[in-house]
Structure 1
Amino acid sequence: MAQQLTHTIAFATAEELYKAQRFYDARGYGGDAIAATDRVLLARDGDEIVGVVRLSPLDDDWCLRGMQIHPAHQRSGLGTAMLHTLATMMDRSCYCLPYAHLEGFYGQIGFTRIEADTMPTALAERYAGYLMRGLNIVGMLRRGSNAI
């Protein structure tokens, strides 16, 4: 019998950003700290944060960053549920730099692979740095309503 999801998914309040950052730190996420301008989505199991993902402003677009799910809650559909919830608020184009094996996962909500020369400069520089570190990542874009 499939496990029933008992998680709640909601956007973090300003007061919850510290807890979201602590979750990132506990997971070993090495990305930039959460900024006040980020839109942060939390998944909870009761009062415990078990998932975090965020949209960070990138020029006139978004950058999806830091999808982290607690290991005990991975492969439960929680990441997919968070991704679909996040998609409802993507009012403009959104980039992401996922590991290559996650291309299909992000493709569920319309992300498609792009080349570095089509990325905003800051993102292309981050992408190049990841590649230099030997990370197997891809660039992806989901076009939003602001796209021409």
Structure 2
Amino acid sequence: MDTLNFGVLDPIKLPIVKKLYKAHYPAGKPKSDERILTLSKNHAVAAIVRFRTIEQYRLMTGMLVIPEHRGLGLGHQLMQYLQSNELQSDDFCFALAHLEDFYHQHGFEVIAEEALPGPLKQLFSRYIHGGKSLVAMCYIDPS
């Protein structure tokens, strides 16, 4: 039986996470000032998500499920953990367009670029003008 563990990354393990991103999601660049949460399966990191603080806002970014663990529902399990333990109303994410429904299933709602807070709007605009197909989303706490 598989053992799943969720938790905040121990900063000493940041080099391991950087190596995983470099191998599987080169655009993702984990930094020591981010809040990084992991889902480990049988003591090996299987999924990662980062929270970047921009002024008083949080942007969920860089969600990665290691390729050999994809298709097992681990992304959904990580999101369920986040909903119960981490996400707050007005947390944001810039979802790849094809993942909009995935994030919607976990409490995120699409918002117009104009509705983003100033510093997030600037970042989103920069990404969009750089050619990325993203959807701005905001977490709405159901409680």
Q: TM-score range by the shorter chain?
A: 0.7 to 0.9
| CA deviation after TM superposition for structure 1 residue 55, in Å | 1.5
Match of 1:14 in 2: 11
Cα RMSD (Å) of the superposition? 2.1
| CA deviation after TM superposition for structure 1 residue 80, in Å | 0.7
Give matches, 1:1-148, under 5 Å. 6-36=3-33, 38-87=34-83, 88-143=85-140
Give the alignment's TM-score, normalised by structure 2.
0.84
- Structure 1: runs of 5 or more not aligned: none
Q: Is the 8 A contact 2:92 2:136 kept in 1?
A: yes
| Alpha-carbon distance change, 28 to 110 in structure 1, aligned in 2, over 3 angstroms | closer
SS in 1 for 2:134: coil
| CA deviation after TM superposition for structure 1 residue 134, in Å | 2.6
Instruction: Please tell me the residue identity of whatever aligns with 2:58.
Output: W
Instruction: Please tell me the residue identity of whatever aligns with 1:99.
Output: L
CA–CA separation in structure 2 for the residues paired with 1:123 and 1:41: 21
The total of aligned residue pairs comes to: 141
CA–CA separation in structure 1 for the residues paired with 2:28 and 2:20: 13
CA–CA separation in structure 2 for the residues paired with 1:5 and 1:117: 44
Question: Where is the strand percentage greater, Structure 1 or Structure 2?
Answer: 2
**Identity across the alignment (%):** 24
SS in 1 for 2:12: helix
